């Protein structure tokens, strides 16, 4: 089902970017959307961000992260230091910290009211 969502991106506790009225494909446990030529998928099993140059995958089941550089097909494992995932009826919050980032990253998705 297509829905309109708002997306807030945080580094630590600072709001870095806000996207309003983004069209997303939403089902019971998954959001898929494109912002700035990057396809993002978030559900209770994984979080991925992908464009023509790379694919970042955060696997909640395996508790690991990886980055694939597509140009030379190189895969890098990244230490997942911590994460939390919270899905409510009309919103989702994901926060994680990986070893390559100085600060934790948080994304909050809120579905717009019809």
Overall pTM surpassing 0.85 (yes/no) = yes
> How high is the pLDDT of residue 12?
84
Rounded CA-CA distance 95/86 in Å is: 9
With tokens 């100085």, the residue in question is: 102
pLDDT tens track for 37-58: 999 999 999 999 999 999 999 9
Give me the chain's average pLDDT, please.
94
> How large is the average pLDDT for residues 17-28?
93
CB atoms within 10 A of CB 60: 16
H-type helices in 3-112, by residue range? Answer: none
Distance of CA 29 to the CA centre of its chain: 13
Q: Could you tell me if 84 and 95 are in contact, meaning their C-beta atoms sit under 8 angstroms apart? A: yes
What order do you get walking across the sheet with 30-35 strand by strand? 74-78, 64-69, 54-59, 46-50, 38-43, 30-35, 14-27, 2-11, 105-111, 91-98, 80-88
Q: How many helices (H) and strands (E) does the chain have?
A: 0, 11
Residues in the chain: 114
pLDDT digits (tens, 9 = 90+) for 70-107: 999 999 999 999 999 999 888 999 999 998 888 999 99
């Amino acid at each position: 089902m297509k829905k309109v969502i708002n997306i807030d991106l945080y580094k630590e506790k600072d709001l870095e970017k806000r996207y309003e009225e983004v069209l997303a494909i939403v089902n019971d446990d998954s959001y898929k959307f494109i912002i700035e030529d990057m396809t993002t998928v978030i559900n209770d099993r994984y979080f991925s961000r992908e464009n023509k140059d790379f694919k970042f995958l955060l696997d909640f089941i395996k508790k690991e992260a990886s980055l694939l550089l597509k140009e030379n097909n190189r895969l890098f494992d990244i230490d997942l230091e911590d994460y939390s995932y919270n899905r409510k009826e009309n919103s989702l919050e994901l926060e994680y910290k990986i070893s390559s980032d100085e600060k934790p990253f948080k994304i909050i998705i809120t579905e717009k009211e019809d």
